[in-house]
A and B are shown apart, each in its own frame.
Chain A
Amino acid sequence: MVAQTETESAKHYAPVRARRPTDFDLTLPALGLLALFFVLPVAMLLTRSVTEPVPGLGNYAELMGSSTYLRVFANTFMVSGLVTFVSLLIGFPVAWALAIMPSRLASVVFAILLLSMWTNLLARTYAWMVLLQRTGVINKMLIGVGLVDKPLPLVNNLTGVTIGMTYIMLPFIILPLYGVIRKIDPAILQAAALCGANRWQSLVLVLLPLAMPGMAAGALMVFVMSLGYFVTPALLGGTANMMLAELIAQFVQSLVNWGMGGAAALVLLVVTLALYAVQLRFFGTDRLGGS
């Protein structure tokens, strides 16, 4: 009886999956690596959040109950939102221009985008630390043209983080948005013009809605990336506007509080995965891999 069921199920399977036994086996080494050095460590860290120092949800209660930590959460969302908004505001016209400008000119802009993206993150952050310091070029220029008479505090605060992170995130919004605008059929815009739409109407009623999926996907990606950023906020931001990733690092490195570190990591992880789930649900899988 048992043997019969087995042959039946084998028969049932055989035509559906013409599986060569080696194909799955080929993924095993990578699977082993990820299981051992990715899934396991993350799971262990998250477990510590409910077991240390005592079993229970005490760490989460502390994280959610303290105004200090809540301010870090709020600040993380605020900075990420601001960076996303500014990136989108600058990125849309640039992506639009790139999609329609002569290809020779566009390739120069692309080369600079790539150069900026590929340049070491710390080198780029360092550049902004120097540019924005009290005696830096930006302050000198502002004073020189008479806009301000005292140097502005541009670094170790929200301004510094926003400028530095927007600088890093811009290519990540321009490139996907360029791809989306590039795919829009110019004839649709022509039709809008023929139907009597002026430029503003064409922009607001036709081009923007058509570009919306790309804008939403790019914005979500930049937002999620910003949420977990560590280096740039740590170097360009001040102590008053700490972000979540810095908090996690601080719990682990200076306070050696693994329970709280694990709890904060779980919060970041859950928010990130939830936002990615939204992205997958509404914009398909094609944006997952970046460009």
Chain B
Amino acid sequence: MLLNFDRLGWWKLVLIGITLATTAFLLLPILFIAALSFGSSQWLIFPPPGWTLKWYQELLADPRWLQSAWTSFRIAIIVTVLSVLLGLVTSFGLTRGRFPFREALKALFLTPMILPVVVLAVALYAFFLQIGLNGTLTGFVLSHLVLALPFSILSISSALEGFDKSIEDAAVLCGASPLEARIRVTLPAISHGIFSAAIFSFLTSWDEVVVAIFMSSPTLQTLPVKIWATLRQDLTPVVAAASTLLILLTVLLMLIVAVIRKGLKS
């Protein structure tokens, strides 16, 4: 009866207890940081002796924080657009094509996802130093694109596999050109896959830190690199303020995803 919740007896209490404890373990640090970002203690004493907004003021007054956030955002947006477009084209080729080595090709496209990021970071760093792309926006975009593309291909391919191609063929029979049929019939039908591809690509780039540490230059750094560099020096509450804003963004993204999923379902 171990898989029947109501007939577990006292084991139920144990399972619930462990689950609640784990949930608290996952949630509390996030709430803790959010609370500390409003605390007045420089040394992050908890509970804080008083409440203040000064860490946010400090954060917003420092142009380097804003600049790095803006850099991150620009890179993430460009990566998202390129990754979705490239993922779309590639997924059509991979799911519709019947050519030799298709599975091997699929596996190759997914490898950047499973490879240790630090290896890619070091390799790209060496390569970009040679061809002069280090510390440039192009360098950031290219390296994040390599990391984001697998997620895009996975999301779009799986949506495309679930789509009945005969509907697209019907549109062609009714007089649409093959391209027109793909754009006006297939694309709307796989929009949920495209949407997840966009979200994953954005998050991959926006949160990426290891490659970015190597890619960045004194004049061009992303937000995670700025946090990283600050943390290596001290545990200033300004990072708590920055983290809280990032957490807020995550919650916002999750809400958008939930709303759009609901919209797509109905």
Q: How far is the CB of B130 from chain A (nearest CB, A)?
A: 8
- CB-defined interface of A189-213 with B at 8 Å, one 1/0 digit per residue? 1100100000100110011000000
With A37-B142, A45-B126: A118-B250 Cβ-Cβ less than 8 Å: yes
**Is the beta-carbon distance between A33 and B146 smaller than 8 angstroms?**
yes
In the complex, A57 has a CB within 8 A of chain B: no
Complex contact B126–A44 (CB within 8 A): yes
B14, B120, B207: the one within 8 Å of A42 (CB): B120
Q: Which of A1-48 contact B (CB under 8 A)?
A: 17-20, 22-27, 29-31, 33-34, 37-38, 40-42, 44-45, 48
Contact pick for B228, options A26, A34, A99, A122, CB 8 Å: A122
Q: Are B27 and A112 in contact (CB under 8 A)?
A: yes
CA gap between A109 and B26 in the complex, in Å: 10
Smallest CB gap from A227: residue in B: B116
- Interface residue from B29, B97, B240 paired with A24 (Cβ < 8 Å): B97
Chain A's nearest CB lies how many Å from the CB of B129? 10
Q: In the complex, what distance in Å separates the CA atom of A20 from the CA atom of B96? A: 9
Is A74 interfacial (CB 8 A cutoff)? no
By the criterion CB–CB under 8 Å, are B116 and A26 in contact? no
Q: Would B231 and A235 count as touching, CB distance under 8 A?
A: yes
Docked pose: A84 CA to B50 CA in angstroms:
40
Q: Which of A111-139 contact B (CB under 8 A)?
A: 111-116, 118-131, 133, 135-137
Task: Say whether B224 contacts A189, CB under 8 Å.
Answer: no
Q: Within 8 Å CB of A193, what residues of B?
A: 1
Whether B26 contacts A288 by the Cβ 8 Å rule is no
Contact with A along B181-192 (1 / 0, CB 8 A): 000000000000
Per-position binary interface string of chain A over residues 78-111, scored 1 when its CB falls under 8 Å from any chain B CB and 0 otherwise: 0000000000001001101111111000001101
Query: What are the residues of chain A within 8 A of B111 when measuring CB–CB?
Result: 38
User: How far does the alpha carbon of A264 sit from the alpha carbon of B239 in the complex, in Å?
Assistant: 32
Q: CB-nearest residue of chain A relative to B11?
A: A199
> Cβ of B260 < 8 Å from any Cβ of A?
no
Partner of A130 from B96, B105, B235 at Cβ < 8 Å: B235
Which residues of chain A are near B251, meaning CB under 8 Å? 115
CA distance A130 to B244 in the complex (A): 14
Cβ of A165 under 8 Å from chain B: no
- Given known contacts A126-B33, A272-B115, A289-B110, A20 and B97 CB-to-CB distance under 8 angstroms: yes
Answer whether residue B66 sits at the interface, using C-beta atoms and an 8 A cutoff.
no
**A-facing residues in B166-203 (Cβ within 8 Å):** 203
In the complex, which of the residues A114, A199, A202, A268 contacts B254, with contact meaning CB atoms closer than 8 Å? A114
Given contacts A19-B99, A123-B247, A124-B29, contact A109 B19 (CB under 8 A): yes
User: Which chain A positions have C-beta within 8 A of B3?
Assistant: 99-100, 181, 184, 186, 189, 207
Residues of B within 8 A of A253 (CB): 214
Query: What distance in Å separates the Cβ of B145 from its nearest Cβ neighbour in chain A?
Result: 7
Q: How far is the CA of A167 from the CA of B243 in the complex (A)?
A: 17
Q: What residues of chain B lie closer than 8 Å to A101, measured between beta carbons?
A: 5, 16, 19
User: CA–CA, A211 to B32, complex, Å?
Assistant: 35
Query: A26 to B93, Cβ gap below 8 A?
Result: yes
Interface size on B, residues (CB 8 A): 90
A50 within 8 A of B: no
A231 & B122 in contact (Cβ 8 Å cutoff): no
> How many angstroms from the CA of A125 to the CA of B27 in the assembled complex?
13
Whole-angstrom distance between the Cβ of A53 and the nearest chain B Cβ: 15
Could you tell me if B19 and A93 are in contact, using CB atoms closer than 8 angstroms?
yes
A27 with B93: in contact, given A34-B146, A202-B2 (CB under 8 Å)?
Answer: yes
Interchain CA distance A224-B97 in the complex, whole Å: 32
Q: Beyond A203-B2, A245-B118, A272-B114, is A120–B93 a contact (Cβ under 8 Å)?
A: no
Give Cα A130–Cα B153 distance, bound, in whole angstroms: 38
Kindly state whether residue A77 has any CB partner on chain B within 8 Å. Answer: no
Known: A20-B97, A249-B122. A41 touches B36 (CB 8 A): no
CB neighbours (8 Å) of B228 from chain A are 122, 231
Is A248 located at the chain interface by the 8 A CB criterion?
yes
Q: What does the 1/0 interface line of B119-135 toward A look like (CB < 8 Å)? A: 11111111100000000
> Residue-by-residue, is A224-241 near B (CB-CB < 8 Å gives 1, otherwise 0)?
100110110001000000
- Known contacts A33-B149, A118-B250; decide if A100 and B4 are in contact (CB<8 Å): yes
27 contacting pairs across A/B (C-beta < 8 A) = A19-B97, A33-B149, A38-B120, A44-B126, A45-B119, A93-B18, A94-B18, A112-B23, A120-B224, A120-B227, A121-B207, A123-B227, A126-B239, A126-B243, A127-B29, A127-B30, A130-B36, A171-B26, A189-B2, A190-B1, A228-B116, A231-B228, A252-B122, A252-B214, A269-B115, A272-B115, A290-B113
List 5 additional contacts besides A122-B231, A202-B2, A230-B118; criterion CB under 8 Å: A126-B33, A230-B117, A230-B210, A248-B122, A268-B118
